[in-house]
Structure 1
Amino acid sequence: MKALIFAAGMGTRLKPFTDNHPKALAQVNGVPLLERNIKYLQSYGINDFVINIHHFGGQILSFLAENDYFGANIEISNESEQLLETGGGLLFAKRFLENEKSFLIMNVDILTDLNISNFIKLHETKGAMITLAVSDRESSRKLMFNDKMFLKGWRNLLDNKKKVVGGIFKLRELAFSGLHIVNSEIFDKMTRTGKFSIMDEYMDLMKEDIIVGYQHNSNLIDVGKPESITYAERMFK
């Protein structure tokens, strides 16, 4: 399976480091996030990658070259002209992914020990178009699932705004983990263009297509703030 790693973001929460560097090169115990996640996925047999770049993208290119691309096959989706967010970034990388049956997407600033093999197995067993890794943890935004773990909505806990389909009121609320497995048929169904969030697209797609949640209790941290690096260094050696 090929993996798309989202590494283009501005990383504003990681300032002042990201004033001069991409967040993908922020280090946890001396190892950059991008290197950690390439090697993490390689440990599950994934060796074909697409990496999108924008903010200080040249530094990422140099880093990969200096490390002989970690022995991986790496293609670059260069968003240097415009940062496209997750949905636009996926659509922009279409040419690298459209011939795959399915592919994995991962945010570069997520560190986890989630079992990727089990994640892929559930996706294939459920026959879903999209499978989202989710867990029961604190988050300002929650995805909402029915008793079959089909995605049915989204809620923002800060302002209580929500979007639900199907008239189902007893829904399980879980936090998205920044990993998803997506079938390439999504490219025929996406309606947005330009800069947009993939979650907005998922909220439309869930009305007609199966989007399933994979609930896990693995270690996971969003390395989005300087203080989260300290926490990550205790969790990931």
Structure 2
Amino acid sequence: MRAMILAAGKGERLRPLTLHTPKPLVRVAGVPLIEYHLRALATAGFTEVVINHAWLGQQIEDHLGDGERFGLDLRYSAEGEPLETGGGILQALPLLGDAPFLVVNSDIFTDYPFAELRRPLTGLAHLVLVDNPAHHPVGDFCLEGDRVRDAREGQPSLTYSGIAVLSPGLFAGCQPGAFKLAPLLRNAMAAGRVSGESFAGRWVDVGSHERLAEVEQLVAQSR
């Protein structure tokens, strides 16, 4: 199974850190955010990783290189203009092959065991969900058994973690350009073709200076 790290965002809420540094290279306890994922993926047995980028993306390529020092083969999908999550994955599909692949957002910090996702995919997607964080109390989706549904009023909801396994078939009929992933997932959910799980371990969406500081504390505690 190949993996893709989504690294094309501007990280505007982390300015001024991201004015001259792409968000995936913002350091946490001295280590760029994206390197935590790369080391975890290598530990989980992944060998081929695709990284998309846009804002200051050449810095990412220059810093990570071919991935040899992480024990990985890194390939890059450069976006002249940001293609959003769906469009970015669609552009990268030729690098990802015909089999289901893991996708992880570069701007999360987690101890999720990626090796757990190296298993056959039934359906079009498998999502890892987490308890709703304080900055996103309404959540995204509902988990009914092992099926993920769109959030419904009055039902307990969970938040999409930014970790998933996707089938290339999810993008059937999509045209090149910028588009979001969520509508594709919701269509697949309506057809009962999205599975999921709830993860209760460490997970932080590093989308603000406060949450960046939170991750710094987590790393310090673990050391």
Give yes or no for TM over 0.5. yes
**Cα gap change, 1:171 to 1:3, in 2 (>3 Å):** same
Shift in Å at residue 171 of structure 1? 3.8
Q: Which amino acid aligns with 1:97?
A: L
Shift in Å at residue 117 of structure 1? 2.4
Moved over 4 A (4+): 66-69
Contact 1:49/1:75 (<8 A) preserved: yes
Shift in Å at residue 141 of structure 1? 4.6
- DSSP 3-state at the match of 2:65: helix
Distance of 1:222 and 1:214 partners within structure 2: 18
Alignment match, 1:216: 199
- Residues 73-131 of structure 1: CA distance to partner in whole angstroms, max 9, x if unpaired? 1110010x2100100101111111232x211000001111112223444xx3x723211
Alignment match, 1:103: 101
Alignment match, 1:203: 186
Alignment match, 1:157: none
**Cα gap change, 1:193 to 1:200, in 2 (>3 Å):** farther
**Cα gap change, 1:141 to 1:50, in 2 (>3 Å):** farther
Contact 2:66/2:75 (<8 A) preserved: no
Shift in Å at residue 213 of structure 1? 1.6
Gaps of 5+ in 2: none
**Cα gap change, 1:142 to 1:186, in 2 (>3 Å):** same
1:147 aligns with 2:144: yes
Contact 2:132/2:157 (<8 A) preserved: no
Contact 2:91/2:176 (<8 A) preserved: no
Shift in Å at residue 68 of structure 1? 4.6
Moved more, 65-74 or 4-13: 65-74
Task: Quote the RMSD (CA, aligned, Å).
Answer: 2.1
Alignment match, 1:30: 30
Distance of 2:143 and 2:125 partners within structure 1: 15
Equivalent runs, 1:106-125 vs 2, <5 Å: 106-121=104-119, 124=120
Distance of 2:191 and 2:175 partners within structure 1: 16
**Cα gap change, 1:110 to 1:136, in 2 (>3 Å):** same
Shift in Å at residue 170 of structure 1? 6.6
- DSSP 3-state at the match of 2:81: coil
Distance of 1:67 and 1:214 partners within structure 2: 30
- Residues 158-200 of structure 1: CA distance to partner in whole angstroms, max 9, x if unpaired? xxxxxx6xxxx77431011110001222232x54542111012
Q: Which amino acid aligns with 2:124?
A: M
Gaps of 5+ in 1: 155-163
Equivalent runs, 1:105-184 vs 2, <5 Å: 105-121=103-119, 124=120, 127-138=122-133, 139-145=136-142, 147-154=144-151, 171-184=155-168
Distance of 1:198 and 1:140 partners within structure 2: 21
Aligned residues: 218
Alignment match, 1:233: 216
Shift in Å at residue 145 of structure 1? 2.5
- DSSP 3-state at the match of 2:74: strand
Sequence identity, in percent? Answer: 29
Q: Which amino acid aligns with 1:36?
A: Y
